[in-house]
Amino acid sequence: MLLISCPNCGSRDETEFHYGGQAHVPYPENPDELTDRQWAEFLFYRDNTKGSFAERWLHSTGCRQWFNMLRDTVTYDIQAIYPMGAPRPAPNTDQPADFGTASLAPDSTTTGTTGPSVASTDLGPAEPAATAPKGATQ
Amino acid sequence: MAKTTAHTVRDNDLSRRTSPAAPLADAFEAGSVAGVVELREEPFLTMVGLRVQHGTEVGDRIAAVTGGLPEASGGVGGNDDCSVLWLGPTEFLVVAPMEAHESLGGTLIQSLRDALGDGEGQVVDLSANRTTFELTGSRSRAVLEKGCSLDLHPRVLKAGTALSTEIGQIPVVLWKTGDESFRIFPRASFADFLGRWLLDAMREYAAPEVP
């Protein structure tokens, strides 16, 4: 269960909210001039981001207001909540993801990302995913 | 002619109307535990939905009728005649006694309409939208805690606070009217379910406490 901080009502359970899909998808300025392909992309094509994702939420059983949320789709960490129409804030890069690649390295005794730069070797072409489980790297 | 008269008489005969949880009235009485937790329906309260912006001219006019509009989530304003519950930044629910309804000669709704005039906003009679449950007693908080995720501890939820939330997965407005008394406003179609849910939640307090 996510605990979502509604800008009007404060922290409430996820069940009081409805998800509204990807944020910042502007309505085309001249819909008549779009090709079918472009129109379909506006209507149906959405990002499937792994990591920070800007999305819309509605507090449907509370104040019934929409707001935007920046959420990590892997860790479910809510990084920012901001009003509709506001630009997307910069993702919080200080906070490393909770799933570590370092802890699985043979020479690592640490967890998380506090260890030596094992993560960078994980991504190197010479050692393809030998030390990281599938889907563990970003 | 006679037919018309009969029709009018029936329309005004309010004893014939049935409140949403009326079929449960006996069960509420049987399920209440005096002094511990008691449940009853308070039928036919006058309710008016307001959509109006704070601080605008029309907002001030409406606020003059209702005795103020609450500023933020949880707020309850009002005067002797009615209470105003905060539902959203521009949305409020006015709750007044049954007698305030225009079918009984009340003037509240009309005076709100007059205050709105042709300004930007909305005044809608919602008296039939929701019914009112009154849950009182020392265990009323324990009953609600079985199905409400809000922090209901008196340290957090003070008397005189009203919040829209869910109880037993039913969307309701929960109004803490006193230290041990709550008003619950479910929509009419959910009244039966929520009434039975509350009765079930209250049942354990009828038995002697197991140490």
CATH number of the domain enclosing A8: 3.30.2270.10
* pLDDT at residue A105 greater than cutoff 90: no
Q: Is residue A136 part of a domain?
A: yes
Residue count of chain A = 138
Last residue of a domain, one of B69, B102, B128: B128
Average pLDDT value for residue range A13-17? 93
At residue B177 the predicted structure's pLDDT band, cuts being 50, 70 and 90, is: very high
Q: Is the same domain home to B89 and B155? A: no
Q: Is residue A118 part of a domain?
A: yes
Q: Which of B78, B51, B47 is nearest to B63 (CA)?
A: B78
Q: Is the same domain home to A28 and A75? A: yes
Average pLDDT value for residue range B66-76? 94
pLDDT score for B120 = 95
Buried b (16+ CB within 10 A) or exposed e, B182-210: bbbbbbeebbbebbebbbebbeebeeeee
Chain-wide mean pLDDT for chain B? Answer: 92
* pLDDT at residue B190 greater than cutoff 90: yes
Listed by number, the residues of chain B in 65-84 with a beta carbon closer than 8 Å to a beta carbon of chain A are: 72-73
Q: How many domains does chain A have?
A: 2
* Calpha distance A57→A9 (Å, rounded): 14
Order of strands, sheet of A52-58, starting from the edge strand that comes earlier in the sequence: A18-22, A52-58, A66-72, A78-82
* Calpha distance A128→B12 (Å, rounded): 82
Average pLDDT value for residue range B85-107? 93
pLDDT score for B63 = 95
Looking at residue B22, what DSSP letter applies? Answer: G
Q: A90 versus A102: which is more confidently predicted?
A: A90
* pLDDT at residue A30 greater than cutoff 70: yes
At residue B11 the predicted structure's pLDDT band, cuts being 50, 70 and 90, is: low
Q: Is the same domain home to B34 and B50? A: no
**Residues contacting B45, CB < 8 A, separation 6+:** B95, B96, B97, B98, B127, B132
- Residue A47 is part of which domain span? 3-82
* Calpha distance B34→A4 (Å, rounded): 38
Q: Is the same domain home to A39 and A71? A: yes
Q: Is residue B137 part of a domain?
A: yes
Q: Is residue B5 part of a domain?
A: no
* pLDDT at residue A43 greater than cutoff 60: yes
Q: Is residue A87 part of a domain?
A: no
The residues facing B184 across adjacent strands are: B133, B174
* pLDDT at residue B7 greater than cutoff 90: no
Average pLDDT value for residue range B140-165? 95
* pLDDT at residue A52 greater than cutoff 70: yes
Q: Is residue B35 part of a domain?
A: yes
Average pLDDT value for residue range B25-47? 95
Q: Is B87 on the interface with A (CB under 8 A)?
A: yes
Q: Is residue B7 part of a domain?
A: no
Residue in A with minimal Cα distance to B174: A62
- pLDDT tens digits along B103-137: 888 999 999 999 999 999 999 999 999 999 999 99
At residue A91 the predicted structure's pLDDT band, cuts being 50, 70 and 90, is: low
Answer whether A65 sits within 8 Å of B89, measured CB to CB: yes
At residue A93 the predicted structure's pLDDT band, cuts being 50, 70 and 90, is: low
Listed by number, the residues of chain B in 132-191 with a beta carbon closer than 8 Å to a beta carbon of chain A are: 149-150, 163-166, 169, 171
Average pLDDT value for residue range A44-60? 95
Looking at residue A90, what DSSP letter applies? Answer: P
Q: Identify the CATH number of the domain in which residue B122 sits.
A: 3.30.70.1520
* Calpha distance A64→A50 (Å, rounded): 28
* Calpha distance A81→A100 (Å, rounded): 25
Average pLDDT value for residue range A13-31? 94
Please tell me which of the candidates A9, A61, A64 has its beta carbon nearest to residue B166.
A61
Angle, to 10 degrees, between the axis of helix B57-66 and the axis of helix B108-116?
160
* Calpha distance A4→B146 (Å, rounded): 21
Q: Is the same domain home to B50 and B121? A: yes
φ, ψ (nearest 5 deg) of residue B29: -70, -40
Q: A98 versus A52: which is more confidently predicted?
A: A52
pLDDT score for B12 = 63
* pLDDT at residue B41 greater than cutoff 80: yes
- What residue has token string 């609450």? B70
pLDDT score for A97 = 47
pLDDT score for B154 = 95
Q: What is the DSSP string of B32-70?
A: -BTTTBEEEE-TT-EEEEEE--TTSHHHHHHHHHHT---
How far are the Cα atoms of A37, B54, B55, B78 from residue B64, in angstroms, in the given order? 55, 12, 12, 10
Are the C-beta atoms of residues B91 and B69 closer than 8 Å to each other?
A: no
Chain-wide mean pLDDT for chain A? Answer: 77
**CA distance, residue A64 to nearest chain B CA (Å):** 7
- Residue B59 is part of which domain span? 45-128
Q: How many CB pairs under 8 A join A and B?
A: 36
* pLDDT at residue B9 greater than cutoff 80: no
- What residue has token string 């994980």? A122
pLDDT score for B153 = 96
* pLDDT at residue A92 greater than cutoff 80: no
Q: Is the same domain home to A68 and A14? A: yes
Are the C-beta atoms of residues B129 and B188 closer than 8 Å to each other?
A: yes
Q: Is B91 in a helix, a strand, or coil?
A: strand
* pLDDT at residue A119 greater than cutoff 50: no
pLDDT score for A131 = 46
* Calpha distance A77→A65 (Å, rounded): 22
Average pLDDT value for residue range B52-76? 94
A interface with B, Cβ–Cβ below 8 Å: 8-10, 12-13, 15-16, 61-65
HSE, side-chain direction, 13 A CA sphere, residue B3: 0
At residue A123 the predicted structure's pLDDT band, cuts being 50, 70 and 90, is: very low
* pLDDT at residue A127 greater than cutoff 60: no
